[in-house]
Chain A
Amino acid sequence: MKNVLQWNPPEGLQEAEVTYTVQYFIYGQKKWLNKSECRNIKRTYCDLSAETSDYEHQYYAKVKAVWGTNCSKWAETGRFYPFLETRIGPPEVVLTTDVKSISIVLTAPEKWRRNPEDSPVFIQQIYSNLKYNVTVYNTKSNRTWSQCVTNHTLVLTWLEPNTLYCVHVESFVPGPSRRAQPSEKQCVRTLKDQASEFKVK
């Protein structure tokens, strides 16, 4: 739940020295609040993760541009709901191979932490219906298949020995707005089948 406000610079001001100021608002509360680290800044983004860390609240944010003695109107977002709109990061994936199988151990992504010392909150503590979409690609047969699981361990069986398999996993929570980000593709080779090797000799 790292929440970063981003915007485009105003058109036609390429030559001017433009700075920006950001404010945010918690829906249901009374007033707009300043984000001190995003006052008179030149960059076109502002990290509001700390301010929006309570994912059950809803938020608005707005930004205005200042150049010379001029000042733009505020540009305001719609109502932002972290609980529904966050993008679920990829899980950590550990693969262990055998002759005809690959064991997969998944670790759910963590919620964004304000301070590294804060104890981690794993995403499935927030979304009990977190699922994983495991995609496997057999590089020899060019065959790809996927399976959706809810628990953290999975064994792929009936694989071919001495074959390179590539795996990537996406953690997702059902819901129209929540996009998911797949893990990096990892490729491992199943072990050689010693038995069939002896026969060949």
Chain B
Amino acid sequence: GQEFRFGPCQVKGVMLRELQEAFWAVKDTVQAQDNITSVRLLQQEVLQNVSDAESCYLIYAMLKFYLNTVFKNYHNRTVEFRIMKSSSSLANNFIVIMSQLQPSQEDEMLSISESAHRRFLLFRGAFRQLDIEAALIKAFGELDILLAWMEKFYQ
């Protein structure tokens, strides 16, 4: 079957299509709530030209942030917008992916992990510049960008 390969990190048992369909079902609803169209959190500098070696660190940091910050605090919105089913499907799949990611902590990987961390900080920095409510809506609405990037590592 198909799996994610973020460099050395392999993730099995997750259907990318399920994630895409979960988001696609709520895309218009969620993105319509985002009025700050002049800001993109997942700018091209965050996700472009990410090396395989970096990818495991970056996806780990991104999913951890989405689970601990976005999904956690966006919960009441999901009820309001009636997007619970999609949101839960995305969150549960992210938990499964994270549980299988084991980014190497070896010293020789330090510069690579730092490079990935800088990319993540770009994203989180943009997130923190916004009002929390607006930032949560925008981050959720940009999941199609994250999923499109993840698709490149799905084989």
Residues of chain A whose beta carbon lies under 8 Å from any beta carbon of chain B = 25, 27-30, 56-58, 60, 78-79, 81, 83-84, 128-129, 174-177
Contacts and interface: CB of A to CB of B under 8 A. Distances in A.
Contact of B148 (A30, A78, A84): A84
Contacts of B28: 78
Q: Which 5 A/B pairs are nearest by Cβ-Cβ distance? A: A28-B40, A176-B24, A176-B21, A79-B31, A176-B20
B17 A176 contact: yes
A81 B151 CA distance: 15
B148 A81 contact: yes
Nearest to B38: A30
Contacts of A57: 44
A165 B151 CA distance: 36
Nearest to A81: B144
B145 A58 contact: yes
B59 to A, nearest CB: 17
Contact of B31 (A29, A78, A84, A174): A78
Interface of B: 16-17, 20-21, 24, 27-28, 31-32, 37-40, 43-44, 48, 141, 144-145, 148, 151-152, 154-155
B15 to A, nearest CB: 10
**Interface SS of chain A: helix, strand, loop or mixed?**
loop
Given A81-B144, A84-B148, A175-B17, A28 B38 contact: yes
A176 B16 CA distance: 10
B20 A175 contact: yes
Given A84-B144, A128-B152, A78 B17 contact: no
**Interface SS of chain B: helix, strand, loop or mixed?**
helix
B7 to A, nearest CB: 16
Given A30-B38, A129-B154, A175-B151, 15 more contacts: A27-B37, A27-B40, A56-B44, A56-B48, A57-B44, A58-B145, A78-B27, A78-B28, A78-B31, A78-B32, A79-B141, A84-B20, A174-B17, A175-B20, A176-B17
Contacts of B27: 78-79
A83 B148 contact: yes
Contacts of B43: 28
B127 to A, nearest CB: 13
Contact of B24 (A27, A83, A177): A177
Contact of A25 (B37, B44, B48): B37
B35 to A, nearest CB: 12
Contacts of A79: 27, 31, 37, 141
14 contacts: A25-B37, A27-B40, A29-B38, A56-B148, A78-B27, A78-B28, A79-B27, A79-B37, A79-B141, A128-B152, A174-B16, A175-B151, A176-B17, A176-B21
B134 to A, nearest CB: 14
Nearest to A174: B17
Q: Which of A28, A60, A175 is most buried by chain B, counting CB atoms within 10 A of its CB?
A: A28
Contacts of B148: 56, 81, 83-84
A5 B24 CA distance: 21
